[in-house]
Structure 1
Amino acid sequence: MAVQRPGAHSWASQVSDEEFRLSELDLHVLGSHPEILAALGRRWRTGPSADTMALVAALPAGLGSLVLAPGWFRQTQGEPWLEPVDFGDGAASTSSFFFLGALVALAVLAALWLRRGRLRAGAEVFAVVFTLVAGIVALPLMASVDVDVLGFAPVSLPVWAATAAAVVVLGAFTLASVGRRAGDAQDFRVTGPADLARADALIAALPPRKAKGLASERTRALGRLRERGMITAGQAAEVEALPIGSSVTLDAR
């Protein structure tokens, strides 16, 4: 079954101010024509969003701290707690394994940040901060189960490394970012340069009724964006004057 994609009017009605990119308008107008999207160097995004991936990246550190909590409770209170997830003597090594995963996740987030032109996003910053806090919490928890944390016992090294890496990555996001990326706003992935001439030819080859429908959908979407205060009358007129498909050449706003 084909995946149902939002039409241009639905997108114009639902897109948030933070996620809005005027350059995506014509892509939504042409969303049911993959061959034209391909000519414009775009395709629909598939799979989990970058924001979802960033939130998943925070999980290893959280789990690394969580598995230490029952041992800490048992040591301080003298009785078991959360027995089904109490790893006993294996809690420290299990936590160490999770923090190795957190270290890899931080490396991936840093690589994606560099790949996207050093633009930071809220979800990615949250994942790094969460990892940092989880590491700070995990170190004393690990010490409470008789691990020589201050002596840098081997089992504690992944926790130290992930915590230090989180500080470095957070510093890079804060001090070296060139701007803020609007979450995972774009619904389309760039696959290459836009060939406007080919896109024009493909649109011209459509049945007249279909081409007229695309123009009508674009006009309705522009009207909806104006109603919501997302664009001005001048911007709407500017887009109306362009051939369908050319909005990809516009700035995000």
Structure 2
Amino acid sequence: MAAQRPGAHSWASQVSDEEFRLSELDLHVLGSHPEILAVLGRRWRTGPSADTMAMAAALPAGLGALVLAPGWFRQAQGEPWLEPVDLGDGSASSFFFLGALVALAVLAALWLRRGRLRAGSEVFAVVFTLVAGLIALPLMASVDVDVLGFAPVALPVWGATAAAVVVLGAFTLASAGRRAGDARDFRITGPADLARADALIAALPPRKAKGLASERTRAVGRLRERGMITADEAAAVEALPIGSSVMLDA
């Protein structure tokens, strides 16, 4: 059974101006028919969502700051480090901030790949990394790590903090717009065969075919209400066979 996906009307209600592609209209209409999508040379993207990846990207920096807290608390109380539980040499924090550097590089690469569209969850991950770095540096200094002297164990923390500033600046100043969801819902797997798609749609039960047509009409109407398409564009799309919109942005 095909996985449940948002229908065409939901897509038409949520898609942002920057992400809108009229060619995806019929792909969302046919989203529950992977066999027809395959004939049109498309398939749903799979894997973790962009928001999940952003939250995972924030995790290393959070852990990097967190592992310093118990030792700092003991030091503040005049108690000795309890190695290896407290990891007082900062090596664990250093390791996690190396992971944070990699995570920032991945977020920046994804941002560039999708045309410099920023997402709120990714901005949050970068800000979180920056804050975690600003917390970790004084925590390290409080337990006799030469932070200002750029001790080797502190370098990954400095690096991740500086990288977070750079990435946040890029997201803020150089973004082409806001990304509401994944920039593209479908992968291209090959050329579209409209004739075969027409045949598969024609072979559907009449009730199912009527439902697809109704879903498409509702989606076109919603796009028209939002000002995403003009009245002429709406009429032109409605005149096309279902599946043909995949060629509109070609």
SS of structure 1 residue aligned to 2:90: helix
Residue 225 to residue 69, structure 1, CA distance change in 2 (3 Å): same
Q: Distance in 1 between matches of 2:180 and 2:188?
A: 16
SS of structure 2 residue aligned to 1:189: strand
Residue 72 to residue 106, structure 1, CA distance change in 2 (3 Å): same
SS of structure 2 residue aligned to 1:88: coil
1:170 paired residue among 168, 171, 174: 168
1:180 paired residue among 178, 181, 198: 178
Residue 124 (structure 1) shift: 1.9
Aligned to 1:222: 220
C-alpha contact (below 8 Å) 1:128/1:170 kept by paired residues = yes
Residue 196 (structure 1) shift: 3.9
Residue 117 to residue 6, structure 1, CA distance change in 2 (3 Å): closer
Residue 107 (structure 1) shift: 1.4
Q: Distance in 1 between matches of 2:232 and 2:77?
A: 68
Residue 244 to residue 82, structure 1, CA distance change in 2 (3 Å): farther
C-alpha contact (below 8 Å) 2:90/2:140 kept by paired residues = no
Q: Which moved more, 1:135-144 or 1:208-217?
A: 208-217
* Residue-by-residue CA offset, 1:192-249 (whole Å, 9 max, x unaligned): 4544454334434545554344223323444566678877765543431222123334
Q: Which runs of 5+ in 2 are unaligned?
A: none
Residue 76 to residue 91, structure 1, CA distance change in 2 (3 Å): farther
The two structures, once aligned, show a CA RMSD in angstroms of 3.7
Residue 61 (structure 1) shift: 0.6
C-alpha contact (below 8 Å) 1:70/1:83 kept by paired residues = no
Q: Distance in 1 between matches of 2:15 and 2:82?
A: 43
Residue 238 to residue 82, structure 1, CA distance change in 2 (3 Å): farther
Does the alignment pair 1:118 with 2:99?
Answer: no
Q: Which moved more, 1:50-59 or 1:199-208?
A: 199-208
Residue 158 (structure 1) shift: 0.8
SS of structure 2 residue aligned to 1:60: helix
C-alpha contact (below 8 Å) 1:71/1:91 kept by paired residues = no
Residue 89 to residue 157, structure 1, CA distance change in 2 (3 Å): closer
With the length of structure 1 as denominator, give the TM-score of the two structures.
0.78
Q: Which runs of 5+ in 1 are unaligned?
A: none
Q: Which moved more, 1:11-20 or 1:118-127?
A: 11-20
Q: Distance in 1 between matches of 2:50 and 2:174?
A: 20
Residue 166 to residue 90, structure 1, CA distance change in 2 (3 Å): closer
Residue 44 to residue 81, structure 1, CA distance change in 2 (3 Å): farther
Residue 82 to residue 66, structure 1, CA distance change in 2 (3 Å): farther
In the alignment of these two chains, the number of paired residues is: 250
With the length of structure 2 as denominator, give the TM-score of the two structures.
0.79
C-alpha contact (below 8 Å) 2:4/2:32 kept by paired residues = no
Residue 216 to residue 111, structure 1, CA distance change in 2 (3 Å): same
1:134 paired residue among 132, 135, 144: 132
Residue 178 (structure 1) shift: 3.2
Percent of aligned positions with the same letter in both sequences? 92
Residue 98 to residue 44, structure 1, CA distance change in 2 (3 Å): same
Residue 221 to residue 178, structure 1, CA distance change in 2 (3 Å): closer
